[in-house]
């Protein structure tokens, strides 16, 4: 049994239950704080605040540990597939052969979107940002599959919605790309597995069948695995908060896509490559940009660096950096942006500013170089992050809905505005 913490102020003492996680993490349960003291806690950015207990992902930011349902990310990246890892995070165990086949067959069967939805794409300007389209189209799935928008779906219904979402998100992403280049949509194929089908829909056309390279598919599969879930990050917290009002999964995930789009979150992978290109075009002077990143008067930040939780290395960044070299070698590409990224990392990690603040490369620092090498356009980078994160969003939404203490999320605040004052009629205002 956990002991209690004692909190004393205003001449009174209250006891706060201590919660201990399976990895020894400690938390104070303050759910009775306001009722017993009238006080709330304030923690902008929630750096010190747990929104829930969860059994899906464990991160130790000091040791650079990331595990999904207890399995280290390094083992999943090396030995698993994206579909299998998706099953793991959603169902808390690795699938049996027939369960994995059920998922794979479901992704193939449900990979099409309703033909009427294709007309939406024509309404967007050619340079519309793909994340805007993805969010809108995912929410629009609730119009075409009304059977899935029940406030209290059964386990089977959640499973079916999950398969629909993971199956269709690739198709919507690929159609968004085709729209941006004025090419006809390419339908999914029944004989291709998850990632290969995505590459086919992205890069095949009526006059050219995309040649699937298993090594490149494996590299993309590894990237998707590395993005699957990451505990209560900004977009996942969004899924939980929106879902806590009993909004359906399509609507909750659509909100998460918008949160992920932000350049401080999943949008960083696009900003990293734009930053590297800017440094390259400016002569490759890495020192100049490290100095700008340290300059408090400059808004410039080293995109792809730093993390709220990882205060040592981000294990995903290490794995992606290895994939980078493999993909570029496989494609016979020498990308000067990779050289700049490696130089930036080397210099930053020796610099006191970054060392003192424990700023290391995060998942977004190298991923864009791989996406660029395989032909994914810059604006689509956050979309690939969303495809990878889809199983995690679903798993976290499911865990929240099934939690016995699932209440609508409604944080409090400390008011700092005007005290009571009367209405002033127009003629008396100055």
**Residue choice 139, 359, 370, 400 for contact with ligand SDX (CB under 6 A):** 359
Draw the binding track, 309-328, toward ligand SDX (x: CB under 6 A; -: no contact): x-------------------
Q: How many residues bind ligand SDX (CB under 6 A)?
A: 22
- Using CB under 6 A as the binding rule, whether residue 264 contacts ligand SDX is answered as yes
Contact 194, 201 (CB under 8 A): no
- Between CA 345 and CA 326 the distance in angstroms is 19
**Residue choice 64, 306, 315, 388 for contact with ligand SDX (CB under 6 A):** 306
Q: How far is CA 153 from CA 147, 157, 231, in A?
A: 10, 6, 23
- Using CB under 6 A as the binding rule, whether residue 363 contacts ligand SDX is answered as yes
**Residue choice 175, 305, 366, 393 for contact with ligand SDX (CB under 6 A):** 305
Q: Which stretch binds ligand SDX (CB under 6 A): 22-30, 184-192, 210-218, 259-267?
A: 259-267
**DSSP assignment of 108-153, as one string?**
HHT----GGGHHHHHHS-TT--HHHHHHHHHHHHHHH-GGG--SS-
Give Cβ neighbours of residue 369 (< 8 Å, ≥ 6 apart): 273, 276, 324, 328, 335, 337, 338, 341
- Using CB under 6 A as the binding rule, whether residue 265 contacts ligand SDX is answered as yes
Site for ligand SDX in 25-64 (CB under 6 A): 45
User: Could you tell me the two tokens for 295?
Assistant: 């300059």
- Of 222 and 362, nearer to ligand SDX (C-beta) is 362
**Residue choice 159, 335, 364, 399 for contact with ligand SDX (CB under 6 A):** 364
Q: Which stretch binds ligand SDX (CB under 6 A): 36-44, 100-108, 201-209, 262-270?
A: 262-270
- Of 189 and 343, nearer to ligand SDX (C-beta) is 343
**Residue choice 68, 168, 170, 307 for contact with ligand SDX (CB under 6 A):** 307
Contact 286, 340 (CB under 8 A): yes
Q: At closest approach, how far in Å is the CB of 324 from ligand SDX?
A: 16
- Of 189 and 265, nearer to ligand SDX (C-beta) is 265
**Residue choice 308, 322, 329, 411 for contact with ligand SDX (CB under 6 A):** 308
Helix (H) or strand (E) holding 338: helix 336-350
Q: At closest approach, how far in Å is the CB of 29 from ligand SDX?
A: 23
The dihedral region occupied by 24, where left means phi > 0, alpha psi between -120 and 50, and beta the remainder, is left
- Between CA 294 and CA 339 the distance in angstroms is 21
- Of 89 and 196, nearer to ligand SDX (C-beta) is 89
- Of 352 and 427, nearer to ligand SDX (C-beta) is 352
Site for ligand SDX in 275-294 (CB under 6 A): 293
As annotated, the active-site residues are 307, 364
Print burial letters for 298-330: b (CB count within 10 Å at least 16), e (below 16).
Answer: eeebbbbbbbebbbebbbbbebbbebbeebbee
User: Any idea of the CA torsion for 87, 265, 122, 112, to the nearest 10 degrees?
Assistant: 0
- Of 196 and 220, nearer to ligand SDX (C-beta) is 220
**C-alpha neighbours within 13 Å on the C-beta side of residue 289:** 24
- Of 145 and 289, nearer to ligand SDX (C-beta) is 289
Q: Which stretch binds ligand SDX (CB under 6 A): 14-22, 112-120, 283-291, 297-305?
A: 297-305
- φ, ψ of residue 31 to 5 degrees: the values are -65, -20
Please state at what angle helix 336-350 crosses helix 315-331, rounded to 10 degrees.
150
Q: From edge to edge, which strands make up the β-sheet containing 57-60?
A: 57-60, 65-68, 71-72
- Of 153 and 391, nearer to ligand SDX (C-beta) is 391
- Using CB under 6 A as the binding rule, whether residue 166 contacts ligand SDX is answered as no
Nearest residue to the partner ligand SDX, using Cβ? 306
Q: Which stretch binds ligand SDX (CB under 6 A): 82-90, 91-99, 247-255, 301-309?
A: 301-309
Q: How far is CA 256 from CA 25, 139, 279, 373, in A?
A: 27, 11, 31, 27
Q: From edge to edge, which strands make up the β-sheet containing 4-9?
A: 4-9, 12-20, 26-28
The residues of the shown chain that bind ligand SDX, judged by CB under 6 A, are 45, 230, 233, 264-266, 268, 293, 301-309, 357, 359, 362-364
């Amino acid at each position: 049994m956990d002991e209690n913490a004692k909190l004393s102020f205003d001449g009174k003492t209250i006891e706060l239950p201590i919660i201990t996680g399976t990895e020894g993490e400690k938390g104070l349960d303050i759910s009775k704080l306001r009722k017993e003291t009238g006080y709330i806690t304030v923690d902008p950015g929630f750096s010190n605040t747990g929104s829930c207990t969860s059994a899906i992902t464990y991160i130790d930011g000091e040791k650079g540990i990331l595990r999904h349902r207890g399995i280290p990310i390094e083992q999943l990246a090396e030995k698993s597939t994206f579909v299998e890892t998706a099953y793991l995070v959603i169902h808390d165990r690795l699938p049996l052969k027939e369960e994995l086949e059920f998922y794979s067959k479901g992704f193939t069967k449900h990979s099409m979107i309703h033909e009427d939805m294709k007309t939406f794409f024509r309404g967007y300007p050619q340079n519309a940002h793909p994340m805007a389209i993805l969010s809108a189209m995912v929410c629009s799935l609730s119009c075409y599959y009304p059977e899935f928008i029940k406030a209290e779906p059964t386990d089977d219904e959640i499973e079916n919605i999950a398969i629909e979402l993971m199956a269709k998100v690739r198709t919507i992403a690929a159609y968004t790309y085709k729209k941006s280049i004025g090419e006809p949509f390419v339908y999914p194929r029944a004989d291709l597995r998850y990632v290969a089908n995505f590459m086919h829909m992205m890069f095949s056309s009526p006059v050219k069948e995309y040649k699937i390279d298993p090594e490149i598919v494996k590299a993309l599969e590894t990237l998707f695995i590395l993005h699957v879930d990451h505990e209560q990050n900004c977009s996942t917290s969004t899924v939980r908060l929106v879902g806590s009002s009993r909004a359906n999964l399509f609507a909750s995930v659509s909100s998460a896509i918008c949160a992920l789009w932000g350049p401080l979150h999943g949008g960083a992978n696009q900003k990293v490559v734009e930053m590297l290109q800017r440094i390259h075009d400016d002569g490759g002077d890495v020192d100049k940009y490290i100095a700008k990143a340290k300059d408090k008067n400059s808004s410039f930040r080293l995109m792809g660096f730093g993390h709220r939780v990882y205060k040592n290395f981000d294990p995903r960044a290490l794995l992606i950096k290895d994939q980078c070299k493999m993909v570029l070698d496989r494609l016979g590409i020498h990308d000067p942006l990779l050289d700049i990224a490696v130089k930036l990392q080397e210099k930053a990690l020796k610099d006191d500013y970054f060392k003192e603040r424990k700023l290391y490369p995060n998942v977004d620092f190298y991923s864009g170089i791989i996406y660029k090498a395989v032909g994914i356009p810059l604006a689509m980078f956050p979309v690939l992050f969303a495809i990878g994160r889809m199983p995690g969003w679903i798993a976290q939404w499911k865990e929240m809905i099934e939690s016995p203490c699932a209440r609508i999320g409604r944080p409090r605040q400390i008011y700092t505005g005007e005290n009571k004052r009367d209405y002033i009629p127009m003629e008396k205002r100055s």
